[in-house]
């Protein structure tokens, strides 16, 4: 019984992680497209760093 609960929780966590990863990838891809189409000056990579938590104060 405990094994089934543990497997169910783990499966739910993995599905949540996959959903978060897909959302992150879609949003960051959209931002990259907007950045490329908006002309010179790269601002996209700063959004990725901030979104990933590389700067604790951000």
Q: Where are the domains of the chain?
A: 2-51
pLDDT tens for each residue of 4-34: 899 999 999 999 999 988 998 898 888 888 8
pLDDT at residue 16 in the model: 92
pTM metric for this prediction: 0.64
Q: Would you tell me how many other CB atoms lie within 10 Å of the CB of residue 38? A: 11
More confident residue, 12 or 53: 12
| Residues in contact with 55: Cβ distance below 8 Å, sequence separation at least 6, in sequence order | 49
């Amino acid at each position: 019984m405990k094994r089934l609960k543990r497997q169910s929780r783990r499966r739910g966590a993995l599905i949540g992680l996959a959903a978060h990863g897909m959302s992150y990838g879609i949003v960051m891809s959209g931002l990259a497209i907007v950045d490329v189409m908006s002309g010179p000056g790269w601002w996209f990579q700063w959004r990725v760093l901030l979104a990933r938590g590389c700067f604790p104060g951000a």
